[in-house]
Amino acid sequence: MRFTKVERDWGTYTILFKTKWLVLKALRFNSSSRLSHQKHKLRSELWFCWRNPCGLIHVGGSIKPFPRFTFRLIKRDTWHHFVNFGGKGCLIFELQYGSIVTETDIIREDY
């Protein structure tokens, strides 16, 4: 199987598995990076922090630390973003699922 790796300002993501209703990604965040404030119209996400404590995750107005080996559920149509404030990069596995899983369902907001 060939993996698709995409570069972003905050780091990279690699698509590990993909179907019409499900995508598994590895998100590698650089130190002191952040993900945009966003929500998705068609999908929910389950995030798992694998390597290093992964900063703070903001989901639906709630701000929580994201320690290693923990999960966070991000329901469809819920505003969320992520901040890696540490001096190390972190690795998060993201499972996207919904009626259709596509990057075009993202709504972004300045935060």
Tokens at 85, concatenated: 């404030």
Q: How many structural domains does the chain have? A: 1
Q: What average pLDDT does the segment 25-44 reach?
A: 94
Tokens at 64, concatenated: 């929580």
Can you give the CATH number for the domain in which 67 is found? Answer: 2.60.120.10
Task: Give 14-46 as a DSSP string.
Answer: EEEEE-SSEEEEEEEEPTTEEPPEEEESSEEEE
56: containing domain: 4-109
pLDDT of residue 111: 56
Dihedral pair phi/psi, residue 34, rounded to 5°: -150, 155
Residue 7's contacts (CB-CB under 8 Å, 6 or more residues apart) are none
Question: What confidence tens digit (pLDDT) does each residue in 79-102 have?
Answer: 999 999 877 889 999 999 999 899
Question: What confidence tens digit (pLDDT) does each residue in 51-60 have?
Answer: 877 888 999 9
Instruction: Give pairs for 56-60: CB < 8 Å, separation 24+.
Output: 56/82, 56/83, 56/85, 57/81, 57/82, 58/82, 58/83
